[in-house]
């Protein structure tokens, strides 16, 4: 028996390097189906493939990609690196495990976003590298191989059956063939009576010797048991055990400027965020939530962040909030992933760590994902409207990507649009593009205040001269900081703007928080977008309450978290099966002609 085990081991490891090269070849490609919000940049980031290489395999993709489109992605995974696999028809979790020589448990661990609900054709999953054999095992293999070779010389003849197998309950041709490292065809050929018939418990089967070319990895008892389980059972079996967190250990790592390196404006924002955070802790304490908070000044360099991460207490954190600077995200992300710590990035949206780190939560939505949400809600809200783009010719290109994407979306829905530029933006020019029989939605091509200053008076005059024109103005998040200049015109123009951050200062919750902030700190919050005190409160309350309620199982229950933020919307989705979470929440803020201010919330 011991010899047979050694023989299996020798066979397995002697073919492992070949199998690894086949599975993780640097040649070839896999298919990726574009989903809402993805751009070539985000796709290249999640697969660590240069954009140029994707465009080479998909000519024209640098001009436009659309939801549902299949892209060929070059397979760049080398030996001992993660590779990617597109699920095909008929594949199961167990079959993928066998095909790639990786346990089901490791596949599940490498794809925390994968579940029985989304294990379907076309989904891409990460396949972790095979485990390396130890020096001791390799020595055993070498000895076993030499013994096998010696026996093969002495005993060249062998009987038809190398073993007889007594059929057990629930066993199948597939599971038995895997148990003995032979193909289903070989097992049926040795036992023709079982072809097209069900196996009967207690009967014996002849187990033939495998063909010399069919060198396969031996199956462990654990893997053999997996062969009889459904995908649902395998996912359930490999689900992480939920653990409650009695006292949450949280760290804030932000540039507070205690070393004099932070700019005054940044310092004010970070301190205000921290102040709002502390107010959330006070509210949570009243609800029985226990938190140990550690606060660190991140400075503005990677070296200063690494110095903080080397502190012995950091590896024991449950969650970290920060950093503020994009170039500091990478070391913090790596540290969080290594130590299984949630990392909440409150500000920057330019880091791509979220595409490959399941521990990352990105509050500020990456641009392409934010725009995709806006387009979807816009087209639903104004499906039959006449769309007019106004270019005030200010020289600003701050919304070029948004406008290009909006035009592409309109064209894909076969909706026409019109454009006016520069001096043509006047009552006479507007008459040429307005449709008196339809709703007209006007979109400036810049979000800057100077563009509004040029455009708004012309729009107001036009609507007053032609009250029959059904005109609306649609714009950008930064407009909420211009309300002191344009509030009356916003109401008169029936204005909408999109945003992920918004609060009406007349809402009871906003009034209560503003008063409490003034009482706590003897000052008002800065007039910024967003208000950082509210942002600190919302993020702290959302995540710490979630950890308190659901512990280590928070990610599986995020849709059940009934928390109403003061300013910040939360709607987290994983970017892929192996990556982290981005916030997809978008509001439309509406200044009505009846002088009402309404926040349109989309599910």
Average pLDDT, the chain: 86
Identify the pLDDT of residue 213.
Answer: 43
The strand pairing partners of 443, in sequence order, are: 389
Confidence of residue 195 (pLDDT cuts 50, 70, 90): confident
Confidence of residue 24 (pLDDT cuts 50, 70, 90): very low
Identify the pLDDT of residue 449.
Answer: 94
Q: What backbone phi and psi angles, to 5 degrees, belong to 24?
A: -120, 35
Percent of the chain with pLDDT over 90: 59
Identify the pLDDT of residue 408.
Answer: 92
Question: What's the CA gap between 275 and 536, in Å, rounded?
Answer: 7
Question: What's the CA gap between 370 and 36, in Å, rounded?
Answer: 10
Question: What's the CA gap between 181 and 177, in Å, rounded?
Answer: 6
Confidence of residue 10 (pLDDT cuts 50, 70, 90): very low
State pLDDT tens for residues 240-278: 888 899 999 999 999 998 877 768 888 999 999 999 999
Task: Using DSSP bridges, classify how beta strands 587-591 and 495-499 pair: parallel, antiparallel or unpaired.
Answer: antiparallel
Cα torsion angle, 56, 62, 63, 67, sign: positive
Total Cβ atoms within 10 A of residue 359 = 24
3-state secondary structure 478-509: HHHHCHHHHHHHHHHCCEEEEECECCCCCCHH
Range from 89-98, 364-373, 489-498 that averages highest in pLDDT = 489-498
Helix (H) or strand (E) holding 511: helix 508-521
Q: Which residue has the tokens 């509001």?
A: 587
What's the mean pLDDT in 497-525? 90
Length of the chain: 603
Q: Which two tokens stand for residue 322?
A: 């920060």
Order of strands across the sheet that contains 597-601: 417-421, 386-391, 439-444, 470-475, 495-499, 587-591, 597-601
Using alpha carbons, list the distances in angstroms from residue 103 to 131, 226, 309.
10, 10, 32
What's the mean pLDDT in 4-32? 44
Identify the pLDDT of residue 450.
Answer: 94
Identify the pLDDT of residue 203.
Answer: 87
3-state secondary structure 7-41: HHHHHHHHHHHHHHHHHCCCCCEEEEECCCCCCHH
- Asked whether the beta carbons of 443 and 474 are under 8 A apart, the reply is yes
**298-301, long-range: CB < 8 A, 24+ apart:** 298/253, 298/254, 298/255, 298/256, 298/322, 298/323, 298/324, 298/325, 298/328, 299/255, 299/259, 299/261, 300/255, 300/261, 300/262, 300/325, 300/328, 301/328
Beta carbons within 8 Å of 312's beta carbon, 6+ residues apart: none
Is the pLDDT assigned to residue 400 strictly greater than 80? yes
Confidence of residue 33 (pLDDT cuts 50, 70, 90): very high
Question: What's the CA gap between 218 and 7, in Å, rounded?
Answer: 10
Using alpha carbons, list the distances in angstroms from residue 4 to 101, 155, 180, 210.
21, 15, 11, 14
Identify the pLDDT of residue 305.
Answer: 95
Q: What backbone phi and psi angles, to 5 degrees, belong to 115?
A: -150, 175
Torsional class of 299: left (φ above 0), alpha (ψ -120 to 50), beta (otherwise): left
Percent of the chain with pLDDT over 70: 88
State pLDDT tens for residues 198-228: 788 888 889 888 775 434 455 455 555 677 7
- Which domains does the chain possess? 2-127 (3.10.350.10), 157-237 (3.10.350.10), 247-365+508-518+533-557 (3.40.50.2300), 368-499 (3.40.50.2300)
The percent helix, strand, coil of the chain (3-state, each to 5) is: 45, 15, 40
Helix (H) or strand (E) holding 143: helix 135-154
CA angle 173, 178, 183 (to 5 degrees): 70
Count Cα neighbours of 142 within 13 Å in the Cβ-side half-sphere: 7
Helix (H) or strand (E) holding 94: helix 93-100
Burial (Cβ within 10 Å: 0-12, 13-18, ≥19) of residue 301 = middle
Is the pLDDT assigned to residue 142 strictly greater than 80? no
State pLDDT tens for residues 43-72: 999 999 999 999 999 999 998 899 999 999
Least-confidence region, from 150-164, 356-370, 503-517, 551-565: 150-164
Task: Decide: helix, strand or coil at residue 467.
Answer: coil
Question: What's the CA gap between 300 and 259, in Å, rounded?
Answer: 10
Identify the pLDDT of residue 196.
Answer: 74
Q: Which two tokens stand for residue 285?
A: 């304490």
Total Cβ atoms within 10 A of residue 233 = 14
Identify the pLDDT of residue 26.
Answer: 37
Identify the pLDDT of residue 169.
Answer: 82
Burial profile 560-593: b = 16 or more Cβ within 10 angstroms, e = fewer:
eeeeebbbbbbbbebbbbbbbbbbbbbbbbbbee
Radius of gyration of the chain (CA): 31
- Asked whether the beta carbons of 51 and 62 are under 8 A apart, the reply is yes
Q: Which two tokens stand for residue 159?
A: 């009987």
State pLDDT tens for residues 317-343: 999 999 999 999 999 999 999 999 999
């Amino acid at each position: 028996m011991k010899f047979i085990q050694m023989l299996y081991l020798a066979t397995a490891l002697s073919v492992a390097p070949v199998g690894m090269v086949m599975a993780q070849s640097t040649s070839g490609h896999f298919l990726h189906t574009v989903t809402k919000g993805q751009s070539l940049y985000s796709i290249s980031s999640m697969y660590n493939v240069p954009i140029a290489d994707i465009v080479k395999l998909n000519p024209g993709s640098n001009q436009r990609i659309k939801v549902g489109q299949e892209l060929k992605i070059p397979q760049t995974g080398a030996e001992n690196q993660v590779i990617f696999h597109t699920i095909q028809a008929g594949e199961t979790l167990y079959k993928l495990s066998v095909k790639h020589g990786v346990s089901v448990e490791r596949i599940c661990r490498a794809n925390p976003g994968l579940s029985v609900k989304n294990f379907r054709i076309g989904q891409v999953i990460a396949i972790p590298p095979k485990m390396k054999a130890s020096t001791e095992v390799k020595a055993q293999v070498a000895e076993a191989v030499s013994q096998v070779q010696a026996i093969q010389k002495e005993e060249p003849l062998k009987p038809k059956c190398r073993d007889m197998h007594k059929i057990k309950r629930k066993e199948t041709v597939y599971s038995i063939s895997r148990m003995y490292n032979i193909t289903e065809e070989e097992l049926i050929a040795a036992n023709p009576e079982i072809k097209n018939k069900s196996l009967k418990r207690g009967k014996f089967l002849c187990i033939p010797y495998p063909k010399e070319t069919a060198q396969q990895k031996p199956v462990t008892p654990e893997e053999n048991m997996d062969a009889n389980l459904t995908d649902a059972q395998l996912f359930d079996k490999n689900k992480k055990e939920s653990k409650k967190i009695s006292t949450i250990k949280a760290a804030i790592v932000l540039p507070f400027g205690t070393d004099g390196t932070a700019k005054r404006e940044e310092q004010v924002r970070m301190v205000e965020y921290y102040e709002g955070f502390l107010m959330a802790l006070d509210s949570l304490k009243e609800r029985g939530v226990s938190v140990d908070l550690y606060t660190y000044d991140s400075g503005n360099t990677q070296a200063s962040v690494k110095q903080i991460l080397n502190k012995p207490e950091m590896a024991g954190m449950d969650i970290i909030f920060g950093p503020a600077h994009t170039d500091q995200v990478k070391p913090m992300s790596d540290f969080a992933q290594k130590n299984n710590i949630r990392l909440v990035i409150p500000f920057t949206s330019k880091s791509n760590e979220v595409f490959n780190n399941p521990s990352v939560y990105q509050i500020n939505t990456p641009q392409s994902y934010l725009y995709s949400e806006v387009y979807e809600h816009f087209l639903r809200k104004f499906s039959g409207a006449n769309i007019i783009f106004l270019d005030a010719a200010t020289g600003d290109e701050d919304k070029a990507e948004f406008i290009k994407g909006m035009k592409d979306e309109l064209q894909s829905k076969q909706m026409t649009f019109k454009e006016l530029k520069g001096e043509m933006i006047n009552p006479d020019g507007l008459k040429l593009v307005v449709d008196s029989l339809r709703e007209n939605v006007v979109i400036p091509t810049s979000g800057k205040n100077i563009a509004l200053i040029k455009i708004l008076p012309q729009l107001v005059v036009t609507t007053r001269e032609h009250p029959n024109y059904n005109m609306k103005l649609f714009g950008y998040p930064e407009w909420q900081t211009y309300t002191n200049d344009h509030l009356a015109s916003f109401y008169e123009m029936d204005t909408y703007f999109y945003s992920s951050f918004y609060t009406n200062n007349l809402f009871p919750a906003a009034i209560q928080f503003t008063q409490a902030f003034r009482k706590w700190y003897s000052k008002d919050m800065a007039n910024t977008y967003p208000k950082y005190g509210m942002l600190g409160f919302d993020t702290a309350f959302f995540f710490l309450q979630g950890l308190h309620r659901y512990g280590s199982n928070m990610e599986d229950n995020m849709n059940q978290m009934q928390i109403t933020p003061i300013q910040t919307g939360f709607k987290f989705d994983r970017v892929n099966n192996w990556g982290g979470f981005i916030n997809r929440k978008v509001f439309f803020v509406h200044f009505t002609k009846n002088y009402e201010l309404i926040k349109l919330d989309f599910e």
